[in-house]
């Protein structure tokens, strides 16, 4: 009978999904700090759902335990094991919030309605049935959700989403609950124009577009997990990436807007743990490349840059090179050896990659030339090149990566002395305002 | 179409529920040892369901974490937190079993169908819906079940059964699955005639009845949890209590049988962490005792021995004494102070208890007299006495407990030199044979 009458409070209350990473819940102090931040948001009148990762090195410790008892731990059991870490964080944080005088309830991925396929250790979310969260929010509870995990529809077993899956949990919940923003708290202050450990005057970016963030995550920026950005873009979830150790605004990741000024280059990203695999004398038949990359996909190897030279009828077949993460080299080689597709396989594990990303590159064709010129001036040899409309990546020797990052950051004027300072979000009513001022 | 035909193997296969305590799964080595023992039972042709506790001190560590973030941790969240320990044990053990070449699956209490009421941190099992276990056994899997936990029907939340609850999980599953035996593995070899740390020639008992075991558990024997013995008695589940570190037979806990020789006294038990609460000038009205013990029950204080002296119309009202566990004294005093039922409350925390237990006492009325005589000869003052048909307990000063145990054990001839050596189970076909020979 009451249903027809909605209280004005319920209609207006904002909803924020906050996600805290492992370092943000590492110990009792960090957990209490996270609890206070959550409570502060609640006391500002917002409804809060918080997604937590496992504490500090818990996941690594659990994996080490597994390897002590089994050479190849069973994936289903691995998920049962690893999923405990986030539950511990959530239960502890819920206790800390109750201690601060608020209602709180912790939910496992399964209880939170994160439904996945049954690919253990790397499950994909196929549905979010957030009824229990909604009910708890209506009862005025703060809801803590164990990140990184779900439940398979098929077998009703615990699944995990793979490393960094908690970001995806948070974004998926924000999408399902139609949250106003998904705040990702980490131990860094936001997304920077380059890794501040390499470039001293790297600048915190007030805003980047989903596309830029995707390219940056794919090319080495570790702040946000690629999958979560993809999910956010597909569902229009604004992400606010910020530090759990300070109150300053971080970086807003949102859809590219007409009003948004497009800088030529937004950031320089890099990765040092890459490896190149070169196949020589690849069998010269249609479908060979499909066979090769099919086998790699089946072996769960992510291939990054691919180059094929001397393409056809050159006698001994073509040469094919591609890069993978260093940790995947053995799997990659094994997968290809089983195919009889090439005469030889060579690997080079001293490979790195430097990339520049920027939405403005779409309309400025001269950027690639400048990148090559800058690296050339620094006597850095470019071994492979890969581009997208908003990204240029160069594969180089891994020991030259820091020099390349510095040179490019400098050449494109990305430092904190740079002119670009604006807030494209200022016209958006309830969204968090993002300004470069850390006091907000 | 195949359903009508049952294979003879399925009909005949024995089912054993094995329960491993915290020390038996403490580290990788212990877990592998437990896995081997489970696999050995499977390879002997039995179906195996194994219930595991949390590893070593995990539960204590989790409780300590909770106290770091909250003064009074929320009970629901405490259960969410504590239930992770057993899941870790089970997942690791399942991996170890898979590594040994057998099928294995770990189940949470909820997945195993342990349905409880919603009294968080001390839930009671109200149903066991073991369909998923049966299905897994039919698929020829070894089933690992997280002990100590269940799921509440009401809220679908994780509950825990209280300390030692894994024994109860094991017995409840054995009852529901109609197992042939429930084997409880611990770090001791069985049930002894007295604590071997106090009495050097304490004897491992080949068999004790449920009733004796209940009295022993209630009066200080720590091998089996009281509740699990009660559950076993009510459901006729034979318990075999044995060491996970040796292959010898332990102690069988079964229903008292006609053929069973009843020793006069089976064991001496003791406890040192008791406290006495004395109420002076208790209000002289009908119903006062009910008020007092009602308030104690509400405060969750277990009262053991009760004595009321100078019962009625003595001017200042009666005196009432009772004993509780040391840890409950504060709660007990607080509960009574709120009542205005007595003039004064005194407490004595230097109190212990020594008990003798034996089914044969029923038909031998002289035992109590001998107990008092023995303690008198040792100059041990008896402060309170409590008896049941098969038990005599004396409350004494806690520093005299070891002397009392030794004196009684000696006086009733319970040592390993004693004559009583028999196997009342020898006529039982498939039940484990229990003999005093550790080589079995």
Average pLDDT over every residue of B150-178:
93
Computed over every residue of chain B, the mean pLDDT equals 87
Per residue in B279-328, pLDDT tens?
988 887 788 888 899 999 888 888 888 887 765 545 567 788 999 988 89
The encoded tokens of residue A322 equal: 């591609």
> CA of B83 to nearest chain A CA: how many angstroms apart?
9
Q: Which of A69, A93, A99 is the closest to B32 by Cβ?
A: A69
User: Looking at beta carbons, which residues of chain A come within 8 Å of B76?
Assistant: 105
Nearest chain A CA: its distance from B18 CA (Å) = 20
Q: What is the pLDDT of residues A119-145, one digit of tens each?
A: 999 899 999 999 999 999 999 999 999
Q: What is the three-class DSSP state of B157?
A: coil
pLDDT number for residue A429: 34
Q: What is the pLDDT of residue B226?
A: 87
Report chain B residues whose CB lies below 8 A from the CB of A76. 105
Helix, strand, coil abundance in chain A, percent, nearest 5:
35, 25, 40
> pLDDT for B71-127, tens place per residue?
999 999 999 999 999 999 999 999 999 999 999 999 999 999 999 999 999 899 999
E strand intervals along A136-209: 142-146, 149-152, 158-160, 181-186, 207-209
pTM above 0.90, yes or no: no
Residues of B in contact with A92 (CB under 8 A): 65-66, 69, 77, 81
Residue among A38, A53, A45, A14 at smallest CA distance from A98 = A38
For tokens 């250790």, what's the residue? A121
- The predicted structure's pLDDT at residue B259: 58
Nearest to A140 by CA among A104, A173, A184: A104
Look at B69 and A156 and tell me if their CB atoms are within 8 Å.
Answer: no
Higher pLDDT, A319 or B66: B66
**Span B163-174, average pLDDT:** 92
Shortest CA gap A93–chain B (Å): 8
pLDDT band at A425 (very low <50, low <70, confident <90, very high): very low
Strand runs labelled E in A43-89:
47-52
DSSP code of residue A192: B
- The kind and range of the H/E element at A321 are strand A318-325
Summarize the confidence of residues A362-379 as an average pLDDT: 89
pLDDT greater than 80 at residue A284: no
Per-residue pLDDT, A311: 54
Residue A75 pLDDT level (bands cut at 50, 70, 90): very high
Give the β-pairing of B391-397 and A158-160: unpaired
Confidence label for A146 from pLDDT (cuts 50, 70 and 90): very high
The whole-number average pLDDT for the span A88-102 is 97
CA atoms of A21 and B333, how far apart (whole Å): 45
Q: Tell me, what's the pLDDT at A11?
A: 52
pLDDT of residue A214: 93
Residue B261 has pLDDT above 80, yes or no: no
Residue A308: pLDDT over 80: no
Q: Averaged over B330-337, what is the pLDDT?
A: 91
pLDDT (tens digit per residue) in A192-217: 999 999 999 999 999 999 999 999 98
Please judge whether B106 and A80 are an interchain contact, meaning their C-beta atoms are less than 8 angstroms apart. yes
> Can you give the pLDDT at residue A162?
85
How far is A414 from B330, CA to CA, in rounded Å? Answer: 66
Q: How far apart are CA B96 and CA B87, in angstroms?
A: 14
Structural domains for chain B: 14-257 (3.40.1160.10), 268-411 (3.30.2130.10)
Please report the pLDDT score of residue A219 as a whole number: 86
Distance from CA of B172 to the nearest CA of A (A): 23
Tell me what the mean pLDDT of segment A240-244 comes to. 93
Task: Kindly report the average pLDDT of chain A as a whole number.
Answer: 87
Residue A359 pLDDT class (50, 70, 90 cuts):
confident
Nearest CB to A88; choose among B73, B81, B106: B81
Q: What is the pLDDT of residues A104-116, one digit of tens each?
A: 999 999 999 999 9
Position A260 pLDDT exceeds 70? no
């Amino acid at each position: 009978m009451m249903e027809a009458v909605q209280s004005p409070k319920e209609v207006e209350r904002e909803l924020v999904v906050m996600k805290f990473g492992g370092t943000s819940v590492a110990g009792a102090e960090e957990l209490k700090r996270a609890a206070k931040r959550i409570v502060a948001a609640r006391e500002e009148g917002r409804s809060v759902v918080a997604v937590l990762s496992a504490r500090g090195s818990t996941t690594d410790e659990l994996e080490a335990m597994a390897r002590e008892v089994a050479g190849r731990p069973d994936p289903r059991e691995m998920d049962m094991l690893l999923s405990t870490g986030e539950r511990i964080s959530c239960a502890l944080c819920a206790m800390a919030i109750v201690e601060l005088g608020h209602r709180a309830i912790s939910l496992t991925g399964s209880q939170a309605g994160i439904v996945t396929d049954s690919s253990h250790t790397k499950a994909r979310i196929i549905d979010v049935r957030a009824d229990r969260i909604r009910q708890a929010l209506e009862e005025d509870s703060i809801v803590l959700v164990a990140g990184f995990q779900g439940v398979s529809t098929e077998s009703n077993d615990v699944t995990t989403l793979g490393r960094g899956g908690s970001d995806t949990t948070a974004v998926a919940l924000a999408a399902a609950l139609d949250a106003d923003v998904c705040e990702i708290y980490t131990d860094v202050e936001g997304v920077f124009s380059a890794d501040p450990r390499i470039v001293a005057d790297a600048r915190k970016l007030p805003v980047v577009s989903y596309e830029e963030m995707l390219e940056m995550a794919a090319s080495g920026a570790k702040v946000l997990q690629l999958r979560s950005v993809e999910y956010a873009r597909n569902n229009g979830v604004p992400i606010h990436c910020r530090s759990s150790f300070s109150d300053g605004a971080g970086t807003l990741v949102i859809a590219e807007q007409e009003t948004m000024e497009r800088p030529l280059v937004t950031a320089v990203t890099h990765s040092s743990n890459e490896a190149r695999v070169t196949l020589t004398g690849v069998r010269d038949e249609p479908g060979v490349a499909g066979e090769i990359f099919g086998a790699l996909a089946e072996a769960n190897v992510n291939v990054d840059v691919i180059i094929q030279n001397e393409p056809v009828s050159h006698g001994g077949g073509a040469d094919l090179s591609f890069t993978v993460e260093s940790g995947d080299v053995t799997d990659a080689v094994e997968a290809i050896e089983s195919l009889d597709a090439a005469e030889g396989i060579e690997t080079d594990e001293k490979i790195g990659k430097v990339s520049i990303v920027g939405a403005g590159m779409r309309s400025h064709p001269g950027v690639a030339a400048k990148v090559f010129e800058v690296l050339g001036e620094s006597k850095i040899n470019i071994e492979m090149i890969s581009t997208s409309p908003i990204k240029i990546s160069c594969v180089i020797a891994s020991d030259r990566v820091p020099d390349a990052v510095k040179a490019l950051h400098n050449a494109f004027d990305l430092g904190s002395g740079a002119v670009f300072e604006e807030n494209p979000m200022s016209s958006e009513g309830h969204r968090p305002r993002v300004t470069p001022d850390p006091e907000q």
